[in-house]
Amino acid sequence: MFKKIKRIFVGNKELPTQVPVQDEEYVVIGQEYSAYEIKESEKIPIQEDTSENKVQVIKHKIYPRVLTTRIKSPQDFEYIKNIVEHDVILINLEEVPIEAIIKEFNDFKKYLETLDYSLGRVGENTILAIKSDVEMDKYVSEEPVHEVEE
């Protein structure tokens, strides 16, 4: 009992007893290599892999994520801010007079510019926002587009 109380105040100065470890043989898992005795005139045969792994590269065209939205009230810009994770954003402003949403639009424009979007006007009431790292030229149709006359 006195030794336990002494150990609390003084500490254990004795080294801990070692656990006996048995010597075991190591087992090699995997390929075993044959041993060759190297002599000056003798060459070691090297095994060449004759089986070739054929890899097919399949290219898929990844199209940009497009968000198309119509603004009906100034609060719609706040809703769009929450879902801006697209590469291309098309904004239609037909139903609202521009004078009514000019302040919210300027805030939204600054917000998109901080996210590295480029804004431009496509039509009279349509605005296009494109992320700067997206190359739109590669998504252009190779065939000429013909307008249909009615």
Check: pTM over 0.85? Answer yes or no.
no
Domain boundaries of the chain, sorted by first residue:
66-134
Fold of the domain built from segment(s) 66-134: Translation Initiation Factor IF3 (3.30.110)
Give percent of the chain above pLDDT 70.
69
Confidence category of residue 142, pLDDT binned at 50, 70, 90: low
Answer whether 130's CB lies under 8 Å from 117's CB: yes
Summarize pLDDT for 73-88 with one digit per residue, the tens: 888 888 888 887 888 8
For 137, counting Cβ atoms within 10 Å of its Cβ (0-12 exposed, 13-18 middle, 19+ buried), the class is: exposed
d(CA 26, CA 29): 9
Per DSSP, 52 falls in state P
Q: 76 with 105: CB under 8 angstroms?
A: no
Whether residue 67 contacts residue 112, with contact meaning beta carbons closer than 8 Å, is answered with: no
pLDDT in tens, 120-141: 888 888 888 888 887 776 666 5
